[in-house]
Structure 1
Amino acid sequence: MGFKGEQHPGVQPSTDNTAGFCLNHTMLRIKNPDTALAFYSRVFGMQLLRRLDFQEMQFSLYFLANLQGDEEVPEDKEKRTVWTFKQRGLLELTHNWGSEHQKEFSYHDGNAEPQGFGHICFNVPNLEAAEKWFDENNVSFIKRSDQGKMKNVIFVRDVDGYWIEVVQADLLAKLGD
């Protein structure tokens, strides 16, 4: 018998109705796709899997992932679209056309009042090396790995101000109770 999940009040057992459900992506709204795509591709090594434009509604979706070397992504656009929506852990960046030309425009980062959305998170193989990489790329830090009560956890901001947590999984084994 495999792991069935931790128990907590409010947790309900899954049913056959949810068999095969999978979290596919998290979406962030972005002001300028050029700067956001440059940030996520350069600083976090993500690849653009698929861009979908919606002319009538004037917005574009950009689906990004950290692909592993052996993953085969379909070249055909329709097959790649289906493949994209079957993946786990993607980042969708949504650009509402024209926002890049509005000088004072910005999205709520979720951490200012009223709080709501908090952050996305990346696991890295070497937290110290990642921290140096962020410094080399002038990434804005919220918290470095040696600051605060939670050591070995970094928080940075992306170009739209969203918070990104960065961890090295094996350093978190004793986290919490």
Structure 2
Amino acid sequence: MHAKDIENYQIEFIQKTFKQNTPSYLKTSKTYPLYQLPTMGLITLRTTDPIKSIRFYESFFGMKLLVRMYVNRSNGFTLYFLGDNNLVVPNPDIDAIENREWMYQQNSTFIELQYYWGSEHQKGFKLQTIEDEPIGFAGVKFETRDLKKIEKDFLINNISINPHVNLIQSRNELRVKSPSNYTLIIQEGNECLNH
């Protein structure tokens, strides 16, 4: 099911199992109650260079490409799902359909990179960022136990960073731009990037 928030950003609700594997209690219930807490499953970011974006998230955020999905609608697009590099998919083939259902059942958040085929060659094609529309989506926040190491990794690789202090939470942060120009915020905290 699709909905939009008050700032017109799309929200997609995804059943954690494929239709043919729907649990019997959902088939018989008229209200379809939530029998477990919902999770933030996917954060979708668009890219015109999926290879560069995948390398970026794998190199600096401890993620790995787990699932890939080709979609033949309109001009076509490919979805690349990156998650915690400690997760083990049921099938090592990133295109295997059973990996998708497995992914929806995980209690962790995935980055979904959406690449519209040929968008890098389309004149006037532009990814919307916070600089285009200053109200709304400001970026994606990650937490790490070792902010200094991540800062060093960015500097060694000549990636521009913007150190920042979050005064509300009294935490140091780094702000960096992804290859698709999205703002990523890395904050020292209890959750761990695998660095």
TM-score, scaled to structure 1: 0.75
Counterpart pick for 1:129 among 149, 156, 165: 149
SS of the counterpart of 2:150?
helix
SS of the counterpart of 2:46?
strand
Percent identity, aligned pairs only? 30
CA–CA distance in 2 between the matches of 1:61 and 1:72?
Answer: 19
Q: List aligned pairs for 1:78-157, cutoff 5 A.
A: 78-87=97-106, 88-102=108-122, 105-141=125-161, 143-145=162-164, 151-157=171-177
The Cα of 1:103 is off from its aligned counterpart by: 6.3
The answer as to 2:80 corresponding to 1:62 is yes
* Contact 2:60-2:150 within 8 A present in 1 as well: no
Q: 87-96 vs 101-110, which deviates more?
A: 101-110
The Cα of 1:79 is off from its aligned counterpart by: 2.0
1:139 aligned partner, one-letter code: I
The Cα of 1:133 is off from its aligned counterpart by: 0.6
Unaligned runs of 5+ in 2: 1-31, 191-195
CA–CA distance in 1 between the matches of 2:134 and 2:189?
Answer: 30
Consecutive aligned runs of 4 or more in structure 1 exceeding 3 Å deviation: 102-105, 111-114, 147-151
* Contact 1:111-1:117 within 8 A present in 2 as well: no
User: How many equivalent residue pairs?
Assistant: 153
* Contact 1:31-1:105 within 8 A present in 2 as well: no
The 1:62/1:56 distance shift into structure 2, 3 A limit, reads same
Counterpart pick for 1:28 among 33, 37, 45: 45
What is aligned with 1:17?
33
1:119 aligned partner, one-letter code: G
> CA offsets per residue over residues 118-139 of structure 1, 9 Å max, x none?
1111222201111011111222
CA–CA distance in 2 between the matches of 1:119 and 1:47?
Answer: 20
Unaligned runs of 5+ in 1: 1-15, 171-177
**What is the Cα-based RMSD across aligned positions, in Å?**
2.5
Counterpart pick for 2:64 among 40, 47, 71: 47
The 1:104/1:133 distance shift into structure 2, 3 A limit, reads farther
The 1:164/1:95 distance shift into structure 2, 3 A limit, reads same
